[in-house]
Amino acid sequence: MANNKTRPAGTPAPTSPTQIHRSPGTASVPGATKHSAKRKRKKGPGLVRRFFEGILRRLFFGSKTLVKCLLLVPIVVFMVAFSYNVDCSGLFQGALAPRRIVDLMLQGYDVTNFEQMDERQVVQLYAQDVAEAPEVIGIGSSRVLQFTSELVGSDSFFNMGVTGADVRDNMTSYYKMVSYGKAPKVLLWSVDPWVFYDSENAFDSRADAELYDEFLTNVLGIETDYEEPDKVELWKALAEPAYFQGNVSYYFKNRGQATITDEDGNSIDFNPVEGDPQQQQSAIKRSDGSVLYDVNFRNLPVEQVLTKAAEACPTFNSVHMEGFDALSDTQCKAFDAFIRYARSQGTTVILVLSPWHPYLYNYLLNETDLHKGFFEVENWVREYCAQNGVPLYGSYDPTLIEGLEESDFFDGLHCKGSGIAKFFPGVPTVLQQIQNGDLPDPMSLTPRTTAEVPEEVPTDEAA
C-alpha cells in the first residue's frame, strides 16, 4: 500500500507472476474453486442438434464443392466432344476412309476410286450418318448396283448393294437402317440365287458375320454365337486423354490439307469426282450409292460382252453357288422371316430378279444337273410372291423380259440400266399398282429350267 502511494496516478501496480497452465483440464488454476469451474463449463448443444448441424454442414460444403467441380466440366466435355468428332481410330464414327466417302456422298458428290472402297463399311456408315432415312433403299450384290435414282423414280433413294453380297449383307444393310431408326418406306431387293443356299460357299468373307448374328439373335430370335459387345470398354475411349491427344495431332496434321491421311499417315484417296461423271476412266460411286463403271467398260462392243459372258459360263458356280443342288429350307424360312420383319417395320418390299446374259443362261440350261439349286430359285420366289402379295419384277431368264438384248449387259452377270428399265417400271408405278391392286401376277411367267428339245427335222425318207 505504501508503494502504491508513491506511483504516479493511472499506472497499474504490477502483479505477482502466475504460471500459465495450457491444459486446464489437468491442472488447477490458483484461486479457482470447484464451483466456478463448474459454472464455466457451458452445456453444449444436444446430440440431436449436433447431428443435424453435422448433416447441414456436410450438405452445404458438399454442394459448394460440387458446384466448383462442375466449373471444370467444360474441359471434360471438350475432350469427349473432340474425341468423338475427330475419332481418328474410327471407334465411334467408323474408319476414316469410309467416313470420308460417306461424307462426300452425303454432300452430294460422286466419289472416285470405287475399286478401293470397303463397300460394306460405307453402307453401314451411311446408315449411321444419313440425317433422314431415304424413302427407298436397294439391297443386293453388284447386280443391283446399276439401280439409280432415275431408274427407281425417286430422288430419295440410296443403293446399299455391295459387291459379292451374300444373304448376310442383304439383311444387315436393311437391319442397320432400322437399328438407327431410319427404316425406309420401300425396300428394293435384287434377289440373287445364292440367298437360298445354306453353305459356307454361299457366304462372302467380307460380310459382317457378327452383325448378321446380332440380327438373327435380336430380330429373328434365332440362337447364334452372338454376344452383346462391351460398349463400356468402347465408350471408355472417350474419357481417355491419350485418345484425345491422338485426335488432336491427327486433326492438326490434316487440317486444311488437300489430301487427308489416316492415323498412320497413309493418304486416303477418295475424292469428289471432277468433270463429267460419264467420262471417268475408272469406276465411281455415285452419290445415290449406285456404281458407274468406267467409260470403256460401259461401251464395250457386243462381241466383247459376249466373250465375257462366255468366259463366265464355266465359272458360274464359283460365285457363291458351288454345290448348290437344292434350296435350303433354313434359308427359305430366313427369307420369309426377313420379308415379314421388313413389313413389320412399315416397309414395302419389292423383289427384283436381275436377268443373266442370254448366252450364259442358255449355257446353264445345257448342264442343268450342275445347277439344280439355281433353277429352283425363280419358281420358288414366284410362288412365294404370289402367295404373299409381294411385288416381283424381272426374271433370271432373259427371254422373259420383253425387248431385252445382249447390248443391255456389261458382261455375263451384270445388266445395264437400259436393261433394268425394260423390266422395272419404277417405285412410284409399283406403289400405284399395289394401291390399285393390279400388280403383275408372278406366276404369269415361267422361266426355262430345261433346255428346249429341238424339234425333229423331217427326213426325206419319212416324207
Partner 1 sequence: MSITTLLFLGFFAAVAVLNYALPRVARPYFLLIASYAFFCYSPENRALVPVLLGATVVTWACGLAIGSSKNKAVRVLFLLAAIFTALGILLFYKYWDLFDLGIVNLAGLFGQRLEPYSFNLVAPLGLSYFTFASLSYSIDVFKRRCKVEPNLLHYAMFVSFFPTLITGPIERYPHLRPQIEKSRRFSYSRCAGGAFRMAWGYVKKMVLADNLALYVSFVYGDFSQMSGPNLLAASLLFALQLYMDFSGCCDIALGAARILGYDLIENFNSPFESTSFGEFWRRWHTSMTGWFRDYIYFPLGGSRCGKARHLLNLMIIFIVSGLWHGADWRYLMWGFVCGAISVLSVATRKPREVLARYNPICRSELLHRWVQRVIVYLLFAGSMVFFASALYNADPYAVYAGITRGWTGLEAGWKDVTSLLVSCGLDGRLPVMLTCGTLIVLGVESGGRNVAKWIRKQNFVLRWTLYYAMGAAILFFAVFGQSAFIYQNY
Provide the binding-site residues for partner 1, judged by CB under 8 A. Answer: 54, 57-58, 61-62, 64-65, 68, 71-72, 75, 79, 239-242, 244-245, 248
Using the minimum distance from each CB to partner 1, give the nearer residue, 9 or 75.
75
Q: How far is CA 255 from CA 86, 245, 250, 258, 389, in A?
A: 11, 15, 8, 9, 54
Q: Which is nearer to partner 1, 61 or 380 (CB)?
A: 61
Q: Residue 433 burial by CB count (10 A; 0-12/13-18/19+): exposed, middle or buried?
A: middle
Joined grid coordinates for residue 354: 436381275
Could you list the beta-strand ranges (E) of 99-232.
136-139, 157-159, 186-190
Residue 283, C-beta contacts closer than 8 angstroms, at least 6 positions apart: 114, 115, 291, 292, 293, 294, 297
Measured CA to CA, the distance from residue 139 to residue 303 in angstroms comes to 30
Nearer to partner 1, 233 or 456 (CB): 233
Q: How far is the CB of 32 from partner 1 (least distance, A)?
A: 26
The minimum distance between CB 263 and partner 1, in angstroms, equals: 16
Q: How far is the CB of 161 from partner 1 (least distance, A)?
A: 43
- How many CB atoms sit inside 10 A of residue 401's CB? 23
- Report, in Å, the least distance between residue 287 CB and partner 1: 37
CB of 42 to partner 1, least distance (A): 20
Beta carbon of residue 21, minimum distance to partner 1 (angstroms, whole number): 19
Element (H, E) at 64: helix 47-70
Q: What's the closest the beta carbon of residue 241 comes to partner 1, in angstroms?
A: 6
Contact 399, 357 (CB under 8 A): no
Which residues lie below 8 Å from residue 310, measured CB to CB, with a gap of 6+? 359, 360, 363, 412
| Whole-angstrom distance, CA of residue 145 vs CA of residue 141 | 7
Q: Give whichever of 75 and 462 is closer to partner 1, judged by the CB atom.
A: 75
CB closer to partner 1 out of 51 and 380: 51
User: CA 428 to CA 424: how far, in whole Å?
Assistant: 11
Tell me how far CA of residue 261 lies from CA of 48, 265, 350, 418, in angstroms.
Answer: 68, 5, 40, 39
| Shortest distance, position 80 Cβ to partner 1, whole Å | 11
Least distance in angstroms from the C-beta of 235 to partner 1: 13
Q: Hey, what long-range contacts does 338-341 have (CB within 8 A, 24 or more apart)?
A: 338/171, 338/174, 338/220, 339/388, 339/390, 341/219, 341/220
> For residues 24 and 62, which CB has a smaller minimum distance to partner 1 in the complex?
62
Dmax over Cα atoms in the chain, in whole Å?
A: 179
**What is the distance between the alpha carbons of residues 379 and 360, in angstroms, rounded to a whole number?**
19
Q: Which is nearer to partner 1, 241 or 403 (CB)?
A: 241
Looking at 271-370, which runs of residues are DSSP E strands? 284-285, 291-292, 348-353
CB 53 to partner 1: min, Å: 11
Residue 165 near residue 204 (C-beta atoms within 8 A): yes
Q: Which is nearer to partner 1, 61 or 235 (CB)?
A: 61
Tell me whether residue 241 or residue 314 sits nearer to partner 1 (CB atom): 241
CA–CA separation, 403 and 419 (whole Å): 9
Nearer to partner 1, 64 or 340 (CB): 64
